[in-house]
Amino acid sequence: MTFLLNIDVPDVGTATTFYTEAFGLTVGRRFGADFVELLGWPAPVYLLSKQAGTVGAGGDRRRYERHWTPVHIDVVVDDVDAAVARALGAGAILEAPARDAPYGRIAMLADPFGHGFCLLAFSAQGYDALLGSS
- Could you read off the pLDDT of 101-132 as tens digits, one per residue? 999 999 999 999 999 999 999 999 999 999 97
Instruction: For residue 110, give the 3-state DSSP assignment.
Output: strand
Is 86 in the same domain as 40?
Answer: no
Answer yes or no: do 30 and 79 share one domain.
no
What is the DSSP pairing of strand 104-110 with strand 93-101?
antiparallel
Do 29 and 86 fall into the same domain?
no
Asked whether residue 12 falls in the same domain as residue 76, the answer is: no
pLDDT per position as a tens digit, 61-101: 888 889 888 888 999 999 999 999 999 999 999 999 999 99
Task: Assess whether 26 and 86 both reside in one domain.
Answer: no
Q: Give domain status of residue 121, yes or no.
A: yes
Residue 78, in any domain of the structure: yes
Task: Supply the range of the domain harboring residue 83.
Answer: 66-134
* 134 and 74 within one domain: yes
Look at residues 34, 55, 58 and name the one whose alpha carbon lies nearest to residue 6.
Answer: 34
Q: For 16-53, write each residue's pLDDT tens digit.
A: 999 999 999 999 999 999 999 999 999 999 999 999 88
Residues 70 and 98 in one domain: yes
Establish if 57 belongs to a structural domain: no
CA nearest to 22, candidates 67, 88, 110 = 88
Query: What CATH number corresponds to the domain at position 42?
Result: 3.10.180.10
Contact 117, 74 (CB under 8 A): yes
